[in-house]
Amino acid sequence: MHTTEPAISATSRRQSIAPLHGLTARAVLIGLVLIPLNILFMLYGYIWGQSRPATVSLIFNVVISLLLVRLVSACLGRLWPRLRLSPAELVIIYAMLTLAASVAGLDQVQTMVPVVAHPFWHATPENRWEELFLGQIPRWLTVDDHSALWAYFDSNMPLFSTPYWRPWLRVALVWSGFSLVLLWVMLCLTVILRRNWIEESKLSFPVVQLPLAIIQPRSGLLSNKLMWIGFSVAFAMDMLNGLHVLYPAVPSLLGAREAAYDLGQQLKSMPWSAIGWTPLNVFPFAVGLAFFIPLDLAFSSWFFYVYWKVVRILSAAIGWGRLPRSPWIDEQSHGAYQMLALASLWSSRKHLAEALRSAISGSRPEDVWEPLPYRIALLGGLAGIGALTLFCCAAGMTLAAALAFLALYLGISIAVARIRAELGSPVHDLHKIGPEAVLTEALGPKSLGKPNLIMFTFFWSFNRAHRSHPMPHQIEPMKMAEVAGAGQRAVAIALGLAAVLAVPLAWVIMLDAFCRYGGWRQAGKGYEAFNRLSSWLTAPGGTNWYSVIALGVGALFTALLGAARLRWVWWPFHPAGFAVSGSWSMALFAPSILVSWLAKTVILRYGGMTSYRPASNFFLGMILGEFVAGTFWGILGILQHRPMYNFLP
């Protein structure tokens, strides 16, 4: 749309760009300065109940930071042209900020810290945790010092104002190291898949349309009238909703949680009440994001969301509602994700074979234009997996359980990255059905044994959901680099620098914030993890065949949907829509996707591409308007230590 490329081959374009183009000292310095500010915004917003930016595909505080840098650069460039940042430099800044924000997100460090802090402080005679598992927890994975735990949960003093920060240092270093190695493995996977996805398959990467429009002067985004109309609509709605939170007499509009209409509350009798939570919110930014989703995925997302509601009702009607976890939607979704990962690898098999041959034969001259040489990516990825496996085994896991967990987790990583790259889904949470849940359902808690279950509990810290999964935030800047002319090697270095700074910094900021304001504020994630462990140990069972069959059904149905798409051009159902539609987050955004799908269908049918291109500016404006308003209310809430309007529930 905004990123028309020259009619030259991908190879020629790649080799015309210096490998480190864009990686300037000033770009790196700006990124390093903005990373702490973004993490502070996200983590203190989490403390005070504000929006959770990394729960959707496009992280709004990163977009606002990029916009501010772009505006300041443009203003300074008018006076001193040499101070104007190039699009390539802006890509480097965006790469650093988006990866840092993802690792500091709700489903990464924001869950990891409360889980790691939880077990020894919340053990009581009533829950019998000391008897059940405390004695078998490796002490280097958590903190058992009562004074250090008191400082975290109840002291209300800065982290470094007491000597109790020392026990936290060891734990923060251990888990930061684990996270950094995991990020390294995902980066190696990204490097191997990048050329096929970006240059050969030419996936569209809808999520980065707004960042690309911001960094490219030729897009004309900030001078477009339709953009400002869309901006004004979304901004006005969110400002009104924010005023409603402060002054209830002010009316609220669509998007405010107070204005949400839950269809499930209106259906009281069985089997209709089995429909569950069905909010009918419409969020301007979600309508804008969904406009850039291909029509078949947008249709499939809301269609399968309705399909799952019908399945719930029919399941209750035929008497399956009494069976645990019936109708096993989460398990089917997990099977769908794993099948999408396998299908993605299969479709890339020729490129993967070429990459393997290149890695075995040694460095080639053309590898200089890759983010990393294929040999380093392959050997480095294998070394990283080996290090993660040793970590798991040192903590008491069996080799088989560790390898199975890592294989399933990396399968989810590939699936999430592919969904974002090809189709731009605004959500992909796979809520509470990560690898540890699947393995426990498939093998049974009793056969897995206590040490594996304990580690599965700690892995809840980055598997509770996958909304802020880092791998898409590694490959999307590489797509932006290909469009804006930044070097791929430069992007890889920027991602590495961001990770090394952001992971430990997020730990320090979050520990300090909880020491100041009380770790009890967000202890719920720890309760979820260790109560589940307690249930596994007090009532160990065998294989849950319902769940196993549901995993297979989800994988098989996804494969059939993919085969139908290959056979029939007109086939309207996309397998990725089936995978993402059963999640908790889709309940929030399905109405917005439906509205956007209808608008895009009408525009394309009656106006064609000549109408679509100008209209896209209006929808970009809706995203930007809600992001600006959300940032304003977020900062105000942090400064006043109270929840304000939250456009991301």
What digits encode the pLDDT tens for the residues 243-256? 988 888 888 876 65
N- to C-terminal Cα separation, the chain: 30
* 602 contact partners, CB below 8 Å, separation of at least 6: none
Neighbours of 599 (CB within 10 A): 16
- CA-wise closest residue to 425 among 557, 589, 624, 304: 589
Residue 645 belongs to a domain = no
- CA-wise closest residue to 579 among 376, 454, 431, 471: 431
For residue 518, pLDDT beyond 50: yes
For residue 8, pLDDT beyond 60: no
List pLDDT tens digits, range 20-29.
999 999 999 9
Both structure tokens of 616: 């896209």
When pLDDT is averaged across residues 563-568 and rounded to a whole number, the result is 91
Residue 570 belongs to a domain = yes
Residue 57 belongs to a domain = yes
For residue 212, pLDDT beyond 50: yes
Of these ranges, 364-368, 474-478, 638-642, the one predicted with the greatest mean pLDDT is: 474-478
List pLDDT tens digits, range 116-175.
999 999 999 999 999 999 999 999 999 999 999 999 999 999 998 888 999 999 999 999
- Which pLDDT value is given to residue 506? 96
- Lowest mean pLDDT of 89-93, 387-391, 460-464, 492-496, name the range: 460-464
Q: How far apart are CA 550 and CA 114, in angstroms?
A: 31
Q: One-letter amino acid identity for 426?
A: P
- Which pLDDT value is given to residue 259? 60
Residue entry with tokens 């996936």 = 203
List pLDDT tens digits, range 263-316.
888 888 888 888 888 888 889 999 999 999 989 889 999 999 999 999 999 998
Tell me the CB-side half-sphere exposure of residue 579, using CA atoms within 13 A. 32
Residue 5 belongs to a domain = no
- Helix or strand or coil: residue 550? helix
When pLDDT is averaged across residues 452-472 and rounded to a whole number, the result is 95
Residue entry with tokens 């390539």 = 88
When pLDDT is averaged across residues 3-11 and rounded to a whole number, the result is 49
Q: One-letter amino acid identity for 81?
A: P
Banded pLDDT at 3 (limits 50, 70, 90)? very low
Residue 586 belongs to a domain = yes
For residue 204, pLDDT beyond 70: yes
For residue 4, pLDDT beyond 50: no
* 413-444-310 Cα angle (round to 5): 65
- Helix or strand or coil: residue 105? coil
- Which pLDDT value is given to residue 5? 44
Neighbours of 96 (CB within 10 A): 30
Domain count, the chain: 1
Banded pLDDT at 646 (limits 50, 70, 90)? confident
Q: How far apart are CA 91 and CA 82, in angstroms?
A: 18
Q: How far apart are CA 355 and CA 92, in angstroms?
A: 25
Residue 4 belongs to a domain = no
> 6: burial class by Cβ within 10 Å (0-12, 13-18, 19+)?
exposed
- CA-wise closest residue to 579 among 333, 342, 308: 333
For residue 460, pLDDT beyond 90: yes
- Which pLDDT value is given to residue 7? 42
> 632: burial class by Cβ within 10 Å (0-12, 13-18, 19+)?
middle
Residue 1 belongs to a domain = no
For residue 328, pLDDT beyond 50: yes
pTM: 0.94
Contacts 24+ apart (CB under 8 A), 455-459: 455/392, 455/395, 455/396, 455/397, 455/401, 456/405, 456/533, 457/115, 457/529, 457/530, 457/532, 457/533, 458/115, 458/116, 458/141, 458/142, 458/395, 458/529, 459/405, 459/434, 459/435
Q: DSSP string of 217-256?
A: GGG-GGG-HHHHHHHHHHHHHHHHHHHHHH-TTS---TT-
Q: How far apart are CA 228 and CA 236, in angstroms?
A: 12
- Which pLDDT value is given to residue 12? 58
Residue 386 belongs to a domain = yes
List phi, psi (to 5°) of 279. Answer: -70, 150
295: domain range? 10-640
- Which pLDDT value is given to residue 258? 57
List phi, psi (to 5°) of 467. Answer: -70, -40
Banded pLDDT at 13 (limits 50, 70, 90)? low
For residue 366, pLDDT beyond 90: no
* 208 contact partners, CB below 8 Å, separation of at least 6: 476, 479, 480
For residue 18, pLDDT beyond 90: no
